[in-house]
Amino acid sequence: MIQRHTGLVLAFDVDWDVEKSIMFLNGISDLIDAVKIGWYQLLTIGPQGIKELTDSVNKYFLADFKLGDVAHINEYVVRKVYGLGINGLIMHAVAGRDNLATAINVARKLGVDVYLLISMSSGGELYDRNLDYNVSLGMSLGVSGFIVPATKPNVVRQVRSMVGSNYQLLSPGVGVQGGKPGCAIANGADFEIVGRSIINSESPRQAALNILNAIRNPISCS
């Protein structure tokens, strides 16, 4: 599980080299609880580059490859991800029980957390029609938590009421996509995932501090 100190997860969607990435992350590390990396970075710096990041930055790393393949491929990827020093990964609920179960078990044995995507910050209507099923599926498969969009506050509240306090809720869509900083946590999430509002800011530290301030003092969230 991600340890919560600030409530902020950085969506580190950049095409920078390893050196610049490490410098940036070390400069903001005290303000965030985890770094989310994904396809963009993997395709830019490669697996070796990702390994260098996880070796050099002392932070929880969440791999967002939104895994949703058949069972054996999911398992192969889980093992590779573990080898890169990753702490948690994200899987697509839509892959279904048979394709998720083995990979989740393997991940748990390796000490890698699995978070299940069950609703998307834009679109994702097939998910929203099956919310109850997907939440129950994740709970029965032993995931650590769920991805719930900051742009859909009712989904955040509904999922929190379904899962109680034993599962972590991570909420993307804050800032550029329209979710108000602080409101996903006010509605029941544990972490807000933020990318461009921080990364593209002239002062990323100040942008992160502003979001932390909103998390501590949320105003007019509905």
The yes-or-no answer on residue 66 being catalytic is: yes
Crossing angle, helix 18-28 and helix 204-216, to 10 degrees? 40
Query: 4 and 28 in contact (C-beta within 8 Å)?
Result: no
Q: Which residue is nearest to ligand O7E (CB)?
A: 195
Residue 134 backbone phi and psi in degrees, to 5: -70, -35
Q: Which of 40, 31, 33 has the alpha carbon at shortest distance from 12?
A: 40
Residue 71 beta carbon to ligand O7E: minimum distance, rounded to whole angstroms: 20
Please tell me the number of Cα atoms within 13 Å of 32 on its side-chain side. Answer: 30
State the CB neighbour count (10 A cutoff) for residue 158. Answer: 18
Q: Give burial (CB, 10 Å; 0-12/13-18/19+) of 16.
A: middle
The yes-or-no answer on residue 128 being catalytic is: no
Q: Which is nearer to ligand O7E, 82 or 175 (CB)?
A: 175
Residue 164 beta carbon to ligand O7E: minimum distance, rounded to whole angstroms: 21
* 121 labeled part of a ligand binding site: yes
> Of 64, 152, 180, 190, which residue is the catalytic one?
64
* 220 labeled part of a ligand binding site: no
* 195 labeled part of a ligand binding site: yes
Binding site for ligand O7E (CB under 6 A): 11, 13, 38, 64, 90, 117, 120-121, 147, 149, 170, 172-173, 175-177, 193-197
The yes-or-no answer on residue 55 being catalytic is: no
Residue 82 beta carbon to ligand O7E: minimum distance, rounded to whole angstroms: 18
Query: 57 and 83 in contact (C-beta within 8 Å)?
Result: no
Q: Which is nearer to ligand O7E, 175 or 182 (CB)?
A: 175
Active site residue ranges: 64, 66, 69
Annotation: binding site for substrate: 13, 36, 121, 195-196
